[in-house]
Amino acid sequence: MALRTIRTMGDPVLEKRAKEVTEMTERLKTLIGDMLETMYEENGVGLAAPQVGVLKRIVVIDVSEERNEPHVLINPVITETEGEQTGYEGCLSVPGKVGMVTRPERVVCRALDENMQEVTLEGTELLGRAIAHELDHLEGRLYVSLVEGELVDADSTEPDEEEVEE
């Protein structure tokens, strides 16, 4: 496995719709492993293939604190949403910035796993947000188009030491 270069906002590949995966190949297995390694190295919770310059409908997500519960989603489709949540969202393709975004509170997604077996993934809170965010990448959309207000420096959203209650 190897680390991949993450494409950043302004790169035209991030504005293109990714293509369906029709069969699992050794090359795609390597891509998935590289995507997971890159996501973990960059401290992300999700990564879509277009973010590493590959226009395939593949995303990886891991919102676990231990970083040991990866989800591989191939050709994912959101089949159900419910409620809404608003909070700061960031992206490895928009480094150092975050913005306030409203997403569904609960998201259900149907996809294929790395063995091309059908899976269903249901997520709420951060997992729900990550599913919706990563699937937007497959359509050529960055979260910045959904930001309410302006992008801010990621560091400015953390509470100051004197604001933290003991």
Q: Which residue is catalytic, options 15, 23, 41, 134?
A: 134
8 in Cβ contact with 52 (< 8 Å): no
Q: Does the annotation mark 134 as catalytic? A: yes
- Least Cα distance to 145 among 103, 82, 84 occurs for 103
Q: In whole angstroms, what is the distance from residue 76 CA to residue 113 CA?
A: 9
* Angle at 103 (CA atoms; ends 99, 104), nearest 5 degrees: 165
Q: In whole angstroms, what is the distance from residue 71 CA to residue 77 CA?
A: 14
So which residues are the catalytic ones? 134
